[in-house]
Each structure stands twice: as structure tokens, then as C-alpha cells.
Amino acid sequence: MARAHANRARCVAANWRGRAAPAGHYRLRGETARPTRTDSAQARALCAEVDGLRSPRNGATLAGPLDIQALESDVEKIYRLARSRKRDAWPPSRLAVTILGPTAIALVPGQLQLGRLVGSQIRVRAGLPAAITQWVIGHELAHFVRGPSCAGPDEETACDYIAAAVQMRWHVFAARLREVGHDYRQLALDFGTTETSAALRIGEVTGRPIAVVLPARVYARGELASMPDDRVRTLAAAPWPGVRKVRITDARDERTALDATRLLRRA
């Protein structure tokens, strides 16, 4: 378990969308509190109860061997655990409290890592922007629901995916997307998330080739996920026919969202 927790700690620090924490920032000392065994056992029993749920089909692609349909199934499992209505899209904090109880979340001033799962309590660094706090909670909640047996090299990417997908629940997001179009700012506002996450979620839900290019890395969906990063950067760097580019406005660094649907799917 200790090793699993260490992995989780690395996780959030390394994969926080767009803002990698400096090396060493995820070490935490002095953790003493432990949630009660009963709370944890009850929550795990609930998880087992709803195992095997199916999720919406989709044609999205994610880099690596991750199965998006299985991840979406985990998202629906989280909502099922919270006994939410089908049309709800809840902030991860509400889901966490509903599933794990009133002490599910602790904001920890001075905590060096962004998030950490201790038993069935999610500890989040105090003072993060609201959208990032929610994402971190979603990430740790994903770890909880998937359990230690899911630990593996892709587990952090899986939990990153679930964290965003929980905030922007598939069919709720798809419905809103039909109403407002590809307006990243509006979607980020509606779902309490970041423009980067909203742009990538469009790629996941629609299968469109969408990427967000940051100074330090590239996040890509659809066909762009299988394209080398430097090629995606080339598309972002200059005007290209068939590539729609939008500057992301809510990040501290310079980043560009690009949609290459017309370029890649030209008849």
C-alpha cells in the first residue's frame, strides 16, 4: 500500500494538467490520521455492488493502451455509487462526500503534493484554484474506486482521465456541447473545469482530433493522439489550412488548443 500511495503522490504532481510540480514536491511527511475501517469497508462494498456497469460507446482514442470505454464505465460507476440522477454532472467534491462521507475531503495547508488518498480520505493541498482542486479530488476518488488492484504504469493517466470525465459526464457534456458549440471558455465555466480539460473532453466525446499544446508537453485526443508531439507542435506553431486554433486563456503558461478535423478528414 505504501508503494501504491507513493505512486499516487507522484501521479498528481507529474500529471496535473499543464502545471508539473517541481521534482520532490510530492513527498509528504507526518501523515498520521487514518479513517475508520468501517467507512472504508462500507465504501468498498458499495464499489463491488456496482461493478460491471456499462458505459456509453465512443470512438475516441487516447495515447497508450488505455481503454476509454472501461474508463467511462468507471465514471458511471462513481455516479452510481453516489446514487445521482442520470442527468446530473456533479463536482467531484460532491461525489466524494456523498460516497465517502462528510470527512471525505481535507484541505491541507502546506501540503507539498497536490492530492493524496489516505484510506478513504482525500487530502488536497489548500489554496489551489477551484477547478484544479476539483480535478485533484476527482483523481484521488478514481484511485479509491478503482482500488489498489488497478495499480500499474498507466494508472495515473487513467485517473487523470477519469477526473476530467467525472466533471464533464459524457452525455451531459455532449448535450451542452450541442447547445454552445466548441466554446471552451463557456464549457469550462459550465462544468467548473479548465479550458484545457473542456477542449480535450470535446475530443473524447466526439472523437475529433483535438490537442492542447503546452510549453512542456502535448495532450492529444483522436487521431492526434497517435501523432508525434513535435508534429502536433508544428500544427500549433503556424497557420495551417484545416486547423482551428484557439488560445487557452485560463492557464498560467502559453497554450494553444487545436482542432485538426478538417485537415485530417479532408475528402
Which residues lie near Zn ion (CB under 5 A)?
8, 11, 156, 159
Of the two residues 8 and 17, which places its CB atom closer to Zn ion in the complex? 8
The residue whose Cβ lies closest to Zn ion is 11
**Residues 72/60, Cβ–Cβ less than 8 Å:** no
Of the two residues 72 and 160, which places its CB atom closer to Zn ion in the complex? 160
CA atoms within 13 A on the CB side of 115: 32
Of the two residues 114 and 225, which places its CB atom closer to Zn ion in the complex? 114
**Residues 173/110, Cβ–Cβ less than 8 Å:** no
**Residues 111/126, Cβ–Cβ less than 8 Å:** yes
- Smallest distance, Å, CB 150 to Zn ion? 11
- Smallest distance, Å, CB 11 to Zn ion? 3
- What is the Cα–Cα distance from 171 to 160, expressed in whole angstroms? 19
Secondary structure E strands in 70-191: 105-108, 115-118, 121-125
Listed in sequence order, the residues at least 6 apart from 259 whose beta carbon sits closer than 8 Å to its beta carbon are 182, 202, 208, 209, 210, 243, 244, 245, 246
- Smallest distance, Å, CB 231 to Zn ion? 29
- Smallest distance, Å, CB 117 to Zn ion? 8
Of the two residues 2 and 267, which places its CB atom closer to Zn ion in the complex? 2
Of the two residues 77 and 139, which places its CB atom closer to Zn ion in the complex? 139
> How buried is 179 (Cβ within 10 angstroms: 0-12 exposed, 13-18 middle, 19+ buried)?
exposed
Of the two residues 25 and 185, which places its CB atom closer to Zn ion in the complex? 25
- Smallest distance, Å, CB 109 to Zn ion? 21
- Smallest distance, Å, CB 139 to Zn ion? 5
Assigned C-alpha cell, 125: 493541498
